[in-house]
Structure 1
């Protein structure tokens, strides 16, 4: 169950930069900031639950890795962020690191 909490926390981690991006649009400031805060709270709480069984370093690395790679992907797909080979390679390395952390956690 802890890994489910952690993966969900990582996915929610994508939501807060998305909320902050949304807050930059005219008329959406408060809604975007509120969404960001809610995603932060949900993500942090699930990380808290996951760390009851998953070592802190592993949990944090996986949590931030999912969030970073996911935010990159959302930026490319929905906000026309640059999609250079180097950026895709960096995202692939982050995802590879998350997989290695999971496989070597022993849980």
Structure 2
């Protein structure tokens, strides 16, 4: 179950980075509230996942990787960021590193 919590934490990290784009310097109140909710939930899920099950370093690296991967994907799909071969290659390298960390974590 800890891996599910870690994944959810990563998803909420993507949520807060996406919301951050719309906060307008934290003047846009609805987006700022959504940002705050997502960041709190992201941190809570990370803490729960690493409390007793997943090593902190592994959990943090995977949580960050999920957030980075998701944020890059959202940028490419919805905000017109470049989806070049090189960018996709390196994002897939990030996915391989995340999988490698999970496979070697011993849990």
> Same fold, TM exceeding 0.5?
yes
Deviation at 1:6, TM superposition (A): 0.4
TM-score by length of 1: 0.92
After the TM superposition, which residues 38-77 of structure 1 pair with which residues of structure 2 at under 5 Å, given as runs?
A: 38-52=37-51, 53-77=53-77
1:22: how far off? 2.1
Give 1:31's aligned residue.
30
Matched, 1:93 2:86: no
Task: Structure 1: give runs of 5+ residues left out of the alignment.
Answer: none
Match of 1:10? 10
Measured in 1, the distance between the counterparts of 2:23 and 2:87 equals 25
Q: 1:23: Cα distance to partner? A: 2.1
Task: Determine helix, strand or coil for the equivalent of 1:105.
Answer: coil
**CA displacement at 1:37 relative to structure 2:** 1.1
Unmatched tracts of structure 2, length 5 or more? none
Alignment root-mean-square deviation, CA: 1.5
